[in-house]
Amino acid sequence: MGSLAAEAVGIMDPENPTKLETEAVHLSDGGSARNHLPNRVFVNRSLNLENIKCYGFDMDYTLAIYKSPEYEALGFELLRDRLVSIGYPHELLRYDYDPEFPTRGLVYDTMYGNLLKVDSHGNILVCTHGFSHLKGDDIHNYYPNLFIQRDDTERFYILNTLFNLSETYLYACLVDFFTSCTRYKNCTQGFQHGDLFMSFRSMFQDVRDAMDYVHDSGSLKDRTIKALEMYVVKDPRIPVLLSRVKEVAKVFLATNSDYSYTDAIMKYLLEVPASVKSGAPKRAWRSFFDLVVVDTRKPLFFGEGTVLRQVDTLTGKLRMGTYTGDLQHGTIYSGGSSDVVCDLLDVRGKEILYVGDHIFTDILKSKKRQGWRTFLVAPDLIKELQVWTDKRYLFEELKGLDVYLAEFYKHLDSGSHERPDISAIQTRMKMVTYSMDICYRKREGERERERERETDRQTERERGRDVYV
């Protein structure tokens, strides 16, 4: 899960390249695959690789794994500094990124400024206001039914990508600062300072605009390229993975990044000497793919798409006109759509296995609109799986307490007047649950897990992808 190559090389057996292991696998020199959680692959449904004629890859957080928390800290720094540059208080500069607070999949309430963790039905599991974790009556004051309308996208914004982690933390910092700053009066939907009203909605829009600025201006990409070793994991197994896959199927790269950034990242990851001892020349990164498409603008790419153009690799500029010819190997394309990819590579629907990290953009859209088979990369599962393995006895004890509790009511019905004393069991269940929360190394209250309830993000994973790591 830390790197796609660690899992995907493992599932592609050189002796039988059409075989997909349905159990955990691990690329190592003899260790037991079952004992290495970061290198596990999970299969949601039957997937026969004999039917896969083409493998597609996203780049960011898929082939290119960014180092955490260094990369998120960089993103947070740029976002914070951007807000200060457009007029936000300089006191915000005292905030530094804390990787222990944000987690992927939280929901930001633009009306009240709260960060929420909800299940698949919209029930609120966790609620924070700034860095304060709300409980009981405090949550009821905002949400009387402890429930939100998940489809109300005008009010609720889902922070469902790894790029959103720095943004998530910034929302908490803003609410924390304005709440504690004596210059501002706390209001239900924002903060008042004289004639100025700073609503949570306007703060949200400012952060989103700052996010767009950081990406569109190229400041994040420039800082990344200048320090690739600091921010990007260089895994020598990625070229091996792509080479093996290309021996049995067609391979394409489809990324939202522009050509210049893609070229820099791919050179760093793939252009290594073929043989260090022999001093053989480097293999050009484009040779690992049958087709490379940049500026895809996913999820638009899986619908109507945009104009397909060729990229001048010497200048990085786009050539005029829409490209309508056959596939030219070694050529870089910009824009287009998933239909265009299918036409150029002469493949269809379930013949494609697409690998990506974004549940909505990469996984759900590619499956719903094109019928592609999907492979989700989810590096943030590593910590949870590690806890599940190391502290499994806590889960087993909780399960046992559930069974023991059921025994008290086993022979009771609506006509029974007996009221068993279950206080001791409830107390123990709370203690075990608290121990589980501590194990996940989250701030108190952030991970109050509901047994056998799935969060919105977990449900989307189940619905969308065939395989995930």
Is 58 considered catalytic here? yes
Q: What are 124's strand-pairing partners?
A: 118
Number of Cβ atoms within 10 Å of the Cβ of 374: 25
The token pair that represents 235 in the structure block: 């895994």
Length of the chain: 469
Helix residue spans in 307-422 (DSSP H): 338-345, 365-370, 381-390, 392-409
Sign for the CA dihedral angle at 349, 351, 354, 360 comes to positive
Task: Reduce the DSSP state of residue 248 to 3 states and report it.
Answer: helix
Helix residue spans in 17-88 (DSSP H): 70-85
Amino acid 141 reads: N
The token pair that represents 162 in the structure block: 């790894």
Q: What are 211's strand-pairing partners?
A: none
66: which DSSP letter?
A: B
Q: What are 186's strand-pairing partners?
A: 191
Distances in Å between the Cα of 464 and the Cα atoms of 56, 131, 151, 363, 461 are 16, 32, 18, 6, 5
Query: Which residue's entry shows tokens 């859209």?
Result: 365
Catalytic residue among 13, 58, 137, 290: 58
User: What DSSP line would sit under 317-340, residue for residue?
Assistant: PBPSS---S---TT-EEES--HHH
Closest CA to 164 of 227, 64, 252, 79: 79
Is 60 considered catalytic here? yes
The rounded distance, in Å, linking the Cα atoms of 337 and 309 is 11
The rounded distance, in Å, linking the Cα atoms of 65 and 234 is 8
Catalytic residue among 29, 60, 195, 402: 60
User: What DSSP line would sit under 215-260, residue for residue?
Assistant: HHS-HHHHHHHHTHHHHB---THHHHHHHHHHHHSEEEEE-SS-HH
The rounded distance, in Å, linking the Cα atoms of 209 and 108 is 16
Yes or no: say if 251 and 245 are a contact pair by the CB < 8 Å rule: yes
Give me the active site residues, please: 58, 60
